[in-house]
């Protein structure tokens, strides 16, 4: 059956569009028959994915970054018969900046290799997460993380993952603080937070914000904590770049938990993102949940 490729030309600040000829050639070399749809504006991938799903295209291939993948999942979910119905299969051509989901689940960054993964037909069922009425597959956060995302969107003089690091330093120096009430399956917390990040995968924006997250375990992994000063947050920042021992979650003021649901209420409104895309500039209430093994995605056999 003909695949539908949905290209987000805005991904990686238009670099996805520049790299499309390489991606197109990779798909053809892999023997994949496809029809192309190009997003006409930011945040329109979700509509294209819904249309492709209604037309019966299988698979649907996301050509872009983590936000593009998230939009594709939200689009095909609109067509699903129920909250439990299988989604996909989907494929990924990693054309984004950080390509965190690809990194987390082993999709090659090389476009020829990524196309061969899709052509092989081997799939695995990935957990799908939800925040309020929005689905995500890699990460969502409120507090410092989306605060930093808004900063990096304004940075035009740096490209690539280094932009996230510069934005993180600037965000820490601003030192925003939120007062939160957090509940989950087996616990609760009330008090100040610097961050709350919910991971399906370990890495987001090049940082290992939920280093023990497993996108196939049927659980949300989330981290919350409060840095008592700018200096303390700057001390913790480089530890978030470590995938293993020495990660920032080992610090006493940082807490990593697993859950199937999370409820968050804030006194001060916070921006929030899902798969790197800001979905709220000022919000106070968030409900997270998990749908285990719902998404079929092409992965190396």
Q: Phi then psi for 229, rounded to 5 degrees? A: -160, 165
pLDDT for 29 beyond 80 = yes
Burial class (CB in 10 A: 0-12, 13-18, 19+), 16: buried
Mean pLDDT of 175-199: 98
| 161 has pLDDT over 90 | no
Fold equal for 3-121 and 139-290: no
Least Cα distance to 293 among 141, 137, 185 occurs for 137
Cα-Cα-Cα-Cα torsion 114, 116, 119, 120, nearest 10 degrees, comes to: -110
Separation of alpha carbons 231 and 252, rounded Å: 16
CATH of 139-290, one of 2.60.40.720, 2.30.110.10, 2.40.170.20, 2.60.200.40: 2.60.200.40
pTM: 0.94
Report CA-CA distances (Å) from 69 to 43, 88, 101, 138. Answer: 11, 12, 9, 9
- Confidence (pLDDT) at 86: 97
The CATH class of the 3-121 domain is: alpha beta
Per-residue pLDDT at 155: 86
Overall average pLDDT of the 16-32 stretch: 96
Predicted pLDDT of residue 14: 84
Q: Where are the alpha helices (DSSP H) in 140-298?
A: 144-154, 162-174, 230-236
Q: What is the mean pLDDT of residues 103-124?
A: 98
The share of the chain scoring above pLDDT 90, in percent, equals 89
- Dmax over CA atoms of the chain, in Å, equals 56
Give the per-residue pLDDT at 165: 84
Domain boundaries, the chain: 3-121, 139-290
pLDDT at 156: 79
β-pairing, 60-64 vs 34-38, is unpaired
Q: How far is CA 109 from the centre of its chain?
A: 16
């Amino acid at each position: 059956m003909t695949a539908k490729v949905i290209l987000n030309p805005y991904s990686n600040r238009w670099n996805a569009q520049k790299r499309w000829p390489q991606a197109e050639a990779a798909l053809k070399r892999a023997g994949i028959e496809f029809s192309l749809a190009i997003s006409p504006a930011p945040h329109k991938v979700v509509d294209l994915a819904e249309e492709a799903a209604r037309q019966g295209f299988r698979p649907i291939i996301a050509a872009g970054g983590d936000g593009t993948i998230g939009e594709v999942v939200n689009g095909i979910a609109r067509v699903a018969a129920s909250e439990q119905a299988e989604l996909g299969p989907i494929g990924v051509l990693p054309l984004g900046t950080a390509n965190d989901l690809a990194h987390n689940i082993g999709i090659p960054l090389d476009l020829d290799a990524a196309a061969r993964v899709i052509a092989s037909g081997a799939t695995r069922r990935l957990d799908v997460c939800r925040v309020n009425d929005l689905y995500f597959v890699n990460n969502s956060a409120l507090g410092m993380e989306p605060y930093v995302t808004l900063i990096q969107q304004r940075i035009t003089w740096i490209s690539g993952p280094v932009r996230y690091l510069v934005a993180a330093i600037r965000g820490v120096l601003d030192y925003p603080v939120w007062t939160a009430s957090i509940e989950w399956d087996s616990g609760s917390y009330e008090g100040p937070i610097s961050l709350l990040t919910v991971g399906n995968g370990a890495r987001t924006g090049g940082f290992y914000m939920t280093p023990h997250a497993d996108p196939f375990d049927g659980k949300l992994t989330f981290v919350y904590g409060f840095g008592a000063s700018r200096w303390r947050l700057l001390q913790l920042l480089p530890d978030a770049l470590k995938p293993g021992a020495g990660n920032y979650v080992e610090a006493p003021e940082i807490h990593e938990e697993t859950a199937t649901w999370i409820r968050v209420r804030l006194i001060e409104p916070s921006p929030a993102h899902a798969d790197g895309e800001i979905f709220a500039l000022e919000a106070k209430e968030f409900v997270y949940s998990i749908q285990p093994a719902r998404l079929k995605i092409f992965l190396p056999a």
